[in-house]
């Protein structure tokens, strides 16, 4: 069907659908609950993604989508936009607008509410962020540039190459913002935040989880058995939460320790074309070099997250 990340041959979307249907049929034959089916299919999708070199089903299905477009486009002009982590708006329709909890926003919410005390990442790694309105402007510019021009062009829309932001920057901005403007909880009490403990490797994370939670969970299991399942509810709840955290970490691990940057040469050329061919270049802005991260995060993004996302 298309080129895989690890060079493994034999990727066929019809076959992937067939395998998925067979797995679903097998689970239903076992009379598995809907919750068990959902979890099993997530695991199955992850296994299939890893076979071909993708870290999870999210990027695996995106890749297959692009393969389908390549096969079916015929003579239609095709533009593929690949934005990185999309953050709140830079300017339009107004600065700081965001809808729903995005990737980095969930971190801000957890930290600002005092619930996030440690974080796992390479603190010096680049976190590739681009405001939502810049993505929209890049899409509009690309549509205009390639209308009625057969071919396929891919635009990487991000900031990692031309204006990199690092996890260490996010760490600092979050602490400064919520120290200066703490979130007020439902009781009317300001939530005090501290410096987040950053674990820079999976090994340190596993050590932390073992010492802090897994040993206690094992002890609780023994006590629960000795007391005839008296603590079963507590044990099951804690076990579920730990498994959820471990699953999330495995899911996001490829991004938390990602070392690369994205080549946005095509996007840079598109920006140059917009500047040369239109008098409205200032309206269709999508140059990441114009972002002052200190001003954007402290005065636009984090206030926007607090206003539109915090509950």
Active site residues: 58, 62
C-alpha–C-alpha distance, residues 101 and 80, integer Å: 25
3-class SS of residue 280 = coil
* Cβ atoms of residues 158 and 127 within 8 Å: no
C-alpha–C-alpha distance, residues 166 and 128, integer Å: 8
Read off the DSSP letter of residue 229: T
* Cβ atoms of residues 264 and 163 within 8 Å: no
Task: State both tokens at 40.
Answer: 């099993």
- CA dihedral sign of residues 258, 261, 264, 268: positive
Q: Which value, in Å, is the radius of gyration of the alpha carbons in the chain? A: 23
* Cβ atoms of residues 217 and 235 within 8 Å: yes
C-alpha–C-alpha distance, residues 50 and 8, integer Å: 10
Distances (CA, A) of 162 to 60, 125, 263, 291, 294: 27, 15, 10, 10, 16
β-bridge mates for residue 85, sequence order: 129
Preceding omega of 93 cis (within 30 degrees of 0): yes
Q: Per residue in 67-79, is it b (16+ CB within 10 Å) or e — as a string?
A: beeeeeeeeeebb
């Amino acid at each position: 069907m298309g080129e895989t990340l690890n060079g493994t041959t034999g990727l066929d979307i019809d076959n992937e659908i067939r395998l998925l249907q067979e797995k679903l049929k097998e689970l239903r034959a076992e009379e598995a609950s809907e919750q068990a089916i959902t979890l099993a299919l997530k695991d199955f999708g992850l296994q299939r993604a890893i076979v071909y070199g993708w870290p999870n089903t999210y990027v695996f299905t995106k890749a297959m989508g692009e393969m389908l477009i390549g096969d079916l486009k015929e003579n239609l002009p095709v533009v593929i936009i690949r934005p990185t982590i999309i953050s709140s708006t830079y300017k339009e329709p107004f600065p700081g607008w965001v809808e729903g909890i995005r990737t980095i926003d969930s971190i801000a919410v957890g930290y600002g509410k005092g619930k996030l005390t440690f974080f796992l990442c390479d603190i010096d790694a680049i976190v590739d962020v681009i405001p939502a309105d810049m993505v929209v402007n890049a899409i509009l510019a690309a549509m205009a540039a390639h209308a009625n021009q057969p071919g396929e062009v891919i635009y990487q829309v991000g900031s990692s190459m031309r204006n990199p932001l690092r996890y260490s920057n996010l760490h600092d901005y979050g602490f400064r913002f919520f120290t200066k403007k703490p979130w007020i909880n439902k009781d009317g009490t300001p939530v005090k935040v501290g410096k987040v403990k950053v674990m820079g490797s999976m090994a340190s994370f596993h050590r932390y989880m073992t010492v802090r939670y897994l040993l206690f969970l094992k002890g609780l299991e023994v006590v629960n058995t000795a007391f005839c399942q008296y603590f079963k509810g507590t044990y099951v709840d804690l076990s579920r939460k730990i498994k959820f955290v471990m699953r999330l970490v495995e899911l996001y691990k490829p991004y938390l320790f990602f070392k690369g940057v994205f080549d946005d040469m095509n996007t840079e050329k598109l920006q140059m074309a917009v500047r040369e061919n239109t008098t409205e270049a200032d309206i269709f802005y999508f140059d990441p070099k114009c972002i002052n991260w200190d001003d954007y995060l402290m005065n636009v993004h984090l206030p926007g997250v607090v206003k539109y996302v915090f509950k």
